[in-house]
Amino acid sequence: MNEQANPVSVVLELDEGLVSRFARLFSKGVDITARTGCSLKSFICEQLGVHEDYLAQRIQTIFLNGKAVDDDQTATVTDGATMALSAAMPGLAGAVFRRGGYYAALRRSVTYSDQGSAAYPLDGKVTVKLFNLTVTELGPVLLKGGIRLAGRDLEEQLAEFADDFRKGVRNITFGGASIDFDTLLAKLKTAGEVELRIRPAAS
Amino acid sequence: MDKVLRINMGADGGPEVKTEPLGDYAGMGGRGLTSTLVAREVPPLCHPLGEDNKLVIAPGLLSGTTAAMSGRISVGCKSPLTGGIKEANAGGQGSQVLARLGYAAIVLEGKPTDGSLYKIFINKDGVQVSSDNSLKMLGNYDLVEKMKQAHGDKITCISIGPAGEMKMAAASVAFTDMELRPTRHAGRGGVGAVMGAKGVKVIVLDDTGMSIRPPKDPDKFKEANQKWVAGLRKHPVTGEGLPTYGTNVLTNVINEAGGYPTKNFMWGRFDNCAKISGEAQAEIENQRGGKGSATHGCHRGCIIRCSGTYYNKDGQYLTKQPEYETIWAHGGNCGIDDLDAIAMLDRLDDDFGLDTIEMGATIGVAMEAGVAAFGDAEAATNLVKEVGKGTPLGRILGNGAEVTGKVFGVERIPTVKGQAMPAYDPRGVQGIGVTYATSTMGADHTAGYAVATNILGVGGTVDPLTPEGQVELSRNLQIATAAVDATGMCLFIAFAVLDQPDTFQALIDMINAFYGLNLNADDVAELGKKILSVERDFNQRAGFTAKHDRLPAFFQKEQLPPHNVTFQVKDEDLDQVFNW
């Protein structure tokens, strides 16, 4: 793994409704540390904690390293992989990229096929991208477990919706120390990689 | 909706208005009517801007009724962009209002000889055509304001901007939306230039005093419509995904697949695409707020509500929520990652009356030529303004990507039959490439959009994993789309129809109950085939051959990063698309 060995811990206690404000981060992709070398289905359900029914019904499109996956049990997640999850999408493009869909043949040049390379269980890093409805539905799950990202990326996202975050953030810790929102923004500019965790605020 | 309004703009003594019964065109609507009429009445070898071409504006078969999603309208003619037959499709209020006024079509014929610009006003009492040169070179927004002052705010406008008056091949026909803004455009193929050639600046519709079209069997129609609405509402795409994020929800997914044409089709992925994605757009719109910001319908009777309203940083209305194809064309295709800048480009396109796909693709070609730098939003804005002013450079750009590429010596011109490709690279999604290549309309993503072919029963037995299978899928998609375009239904119904056979049956039941018919799925497929056959025949008579059903050579030669794929469907397979 290439990332910082001990990224600074950032913990935000905030209203869950604000998770959608991280949509762009999830679109770009966030890094998580997890056990790799397993099937895509196993990774999503066991490592990310996504319910099997949700995977089967809600997640209609999956990309592994930029290629559309049709069979989540034969595709293997390895260290350094990039995975993207999407709910149902409109139009022909939506149908084409749907998992195992009738129109999957129309994109066969970008369909994932198992290269047969050996995969071993290994603690590794996986970049996870969430698109559309999965942002609000799975985003809180990932944020609770912790995501790794560049401090500047987090700063940029928090700054864009600064007014909302100021209102919605109840408590902030940076490297274990309690700080205010503006101090956090300043520290993130030079923080390198951080590990972000979100805790829902008590209502 | 039992009559055709014909206006001969070139008649001696001024425009001549004639109302005719439907005659041989009875039972046709939307694209079925525009294409049949153009194929029958327009000489295929005529000049598109000449007196022999006709501009046909036709609501769909179910427009003007209470059927949900039935507000699409078709505009047909011989295209000045492609030289072939054209049907451009739009939302907005035009379809519902024109249908309620009782017209199955407006046909503009001839060509005025005196250079005057005309306004056509249609209400329950009849049709008035008047010369009004004070409208010359008005943008669509100012024009509509002027019409509101003259006729009140209960009207609907069908208009052209300066681009149409200058007869540019990228010119659109604008339809006002529910807020009486000129935001919905029949964009593709230069239909606005044909309206300009007819000397018509605006058609003002007022359906005051007119009623909703009554079905032959009201009870069955109501029952079918209820099932139809329930089916659309329960589906995750039409019920959730589209209302929440709009069509721009596709950006991240197409980009992830490596099929997002970037910087004039040089790459399949745009690094900053997250900044212009539907998710980012929804967050901006929700944060800025305002009426109809993130979720909005484009016409009365729309229940999917995939549109929205884009307000600027100061909270002032700027434009409607730009569609996925627009954000791609002016965004990733030009290396621009600023949603506010893209929204401004959309506003300018709408005001000047330009097809956003053609303009974005054209600017991408111009950027490759070095006219501006990729990523320079200000330069892109200035180029569109050149088009609006009609400067020599603007005239080149306003005639589309192919003309611009030729003028500036660019080899990578992403067009088929002269029309620019939309937001899906055919190397990444090869099946869509088959449709781009063979569509009667030129490169058009909507030509094979209605993903309902398996339910329509026109799916074949060929293995879809073979090239023949891709050809067959494309064929069936094009058939289904042509049929949907005839109904006046929004193409976004297709996803729910694909997944839910009872929803598709509800659509057929609505048509049957309205017209007292007994159609089945096979009949719908036959309708689609008939429309395509008519269009294909027109194009052949206009000089099109198999060699026009091809993608530009660079798609076979240049590998598209990141997957480094080329378009691999063989020519002989493409030639089989219309063999049924």
Q: Concatenated DSSP letters for B349-378?
A: HHHHTB-HHHHHHHHHHHHHTTSS-TT-HH
What residue spans of B439-520 are helical by DSSP H?
A: 453-456, 467-487, 493-499, 501-515
Option in A86, A133, A164 nearest B253 (CB): A86
B509: domain CATH number is 1.10.599.10
Does B397 share its domain with B444? no
Task: Provide mean pLDDT across the span B481-509.
Answer: 82
pLDDT at residue number B453: 42
Cβ distance A106 to B432 less than 8 Å, yes or no, reads: yes
pLDDT at residue number B350: 98
CB B358 within 8 Å of CB B418 = no
Contact residues, A window 25-44, toward B, CB-based 8 Å cutoff = 26-28
Chain A residue with Cα closest to B255: A66
Residues of A in contact with B89 (CB under 8 A): none
> Rounded distance, CA A50 to CA B320, Å?
36
Name the least confident of B255-269, B417-431, B473-487. Answer: B473-487
Q: Please check the confidence at residue A28 and state whether its pLDDT lies above 70.
A: yes
Does B435 share its domain with B411? no
Does B380 share its domain with B496? no
Domain ranges of chain A: 8-200
Option in A87, A91, A95 nearest B236 (CB): A87
B354: domain CATH number is 1.10.569.10
Confidence category of residue A2, pLDDT binned at 50, 70, 90: very low
Question: Does some domain include residue B221?
Answer: no
Does B451 share its domain with B547? yes
Q: Please check the confidence at residue B573 and state whether its pLDDT lies above 50.
A: yes
Q: Does B253 touch chain A (CB under 8 A)?
A: yes
Does B158 share its domain with B273? no
Does B321 share its domain with B200? no
Q: Does A90 touch chain B (CB under 8 A)?
A: yes
Task: Provide mean pLDDT across the span B475-501.
Answer: 80
Closest-CA residue to B355 (of B136, B44, B81, B40)? B81
User: In angstroms, what separates the C-alpha of B471 from chain A's closest C-alpha?
Assistant: 9
Q: Please check the confidence at residue B148 and state whether its pLDDT lies above 70.
A: yes
> Rounded distance, CA B394 to CA B385, Å?
8
Q: What is the pLDDT of residues A35-72, one digit of tens each?
A: 999 999 999 999 999 999 999 999 999 999 999 999 99
Q: What is the pLDDT of residues B181-194, one digit of tens each?
A: 999 999 999 999 99
Option in A27, A68, A96 nearest B252 (CB): A27
Q: Which domain holds residue B563?
A: 430-574
Question: Does some domain include residue B285?
Answer: yes
pLDDT at residue number B154: 96
Q: Please check the confidence at residue B457 and state whether its pLDDT lies above 90.
A: no
User: In angstroms, what separates the C-alpha of B331 from chain A's closest C-alpha?
Assistant: 16
Task: Provide mean pLDDT across the span B138-157.
Answer: 98
Q: Please check the confidence at residue A106 and state whether its pLDDT lies above 80.
A: no
Q: Does B308 touch chain A (CB under 8 A)?
A: no
State which of B181, B205, B229 marks the end of a domain: B205
Confidence category of residue B456, pLDDT binned at 50, 70, 90: very low
pLDDT at residue number B233: 86
CB B253 within 8 Å of CB A89 = yes
Question: Does some domain include residue B211?
Answer: no
pLDDT at residue number B497: 77
Question: Does some domain include residue B226?
Answer: no
Question: Does some domain include residue B27?
Answer: yes
Question: Does some domain include residue B552?
Answer: yes
Does B392 share its domain with B511? no
Instruction: Give the H/E segment covering residue A12.
Output: strand A8-14
Would you call the peptide bond into B562 cis, given omega within 30 degrees of 0 as the criterion? yes
CA atoms within 13 A on the CB side of B174: 35
Q: What is the pLDDT of residues B305-356, one digit of tens each?
A: 888 899 999 999 999 999 999 999 999 999 999 999 999 999 999 999 999 9
Sign of CA dihedral B244, B250, B255, B260: negative
Question: Does some domain include residue B400?
Answer: yes
B161: domain CATH number is 3.60.9.10
Name the least confident of B17-21, B22-26, B364-368, B465-469. Answer: B465-469
The DSSP letter of residue B322 is P
Does B454 share its domain with B563? yes
User: In angstroms, what separates the C-alpha of B233 from chain A's closest C-alpha?
Assistant: 14
> Rounded distance, CA B503 to CA B303, Å?
14
pLDDT at residue number A1: 41
Task: Provide mean pLDDT across the span B138-149.
Answer: 98
Q: Which of B340, B451, B555, B566 to mutate to test the interface with A (most CBs of A within 10 A)?
A: B451
Q: ipTM score of the complex? A: 0.86
| Parallel/antiparallel/unpaired status of strands A122-130 and A82-86 | parallel
Domain count, chain B: 3
Q: What is the pLDDT of residues B393-452, one digit of tens each?
A: 999 999 999 999 999 999 999 999 999 999 999 998 888 888 899 999 999 877 765 444
pLDDT at residue number B465: 47
Residue A124 neighbours by CB distance under 10 Å: 17
User: In angstroms, what separates the C-alpha of A176 from chain B's closest C-alpha?
Assistant: 30
Does B404 share its domain with B553? no
Give exposure, A145-179, as e/b (b: 16+ Cβ within 10 Å): ebbbbbbebbbebbebbeebbeebbeebbbeeeeb
Q: Does B242 touch chain A (CB under 8 A)?
A: yes
Confidence category of residue B290, pLDDT binned at 50, 70, 90: confident
pLDDT at residue number A112: 85
Does B103 share its domain with B31? yes
- Percent of chain B's residues with pLDDT above 70: 96
Cβ distance B249 to A132 less than 8 Å, yes or no, reads: yes
Does B411 share its domain with B439? no
Question: Does some domain include residue B25?
Answer: yes
Cβ distance A95 to B449 less than 8 Å, yes or no, reads: no
Does B411 share its domain with B452? no
Residues of B in contact with A30 (CB under 8 A): none
pLDDT at residue number A118: 60
Q: Please check the confidence at residue B455 and state whether its pLDDT lies above 50.
A: no
pLDDT at residue number B451: 44
Task: Provide mean pLDDT across the span B365-383.
Answer: 98
pLDDT at residue number B448: 66
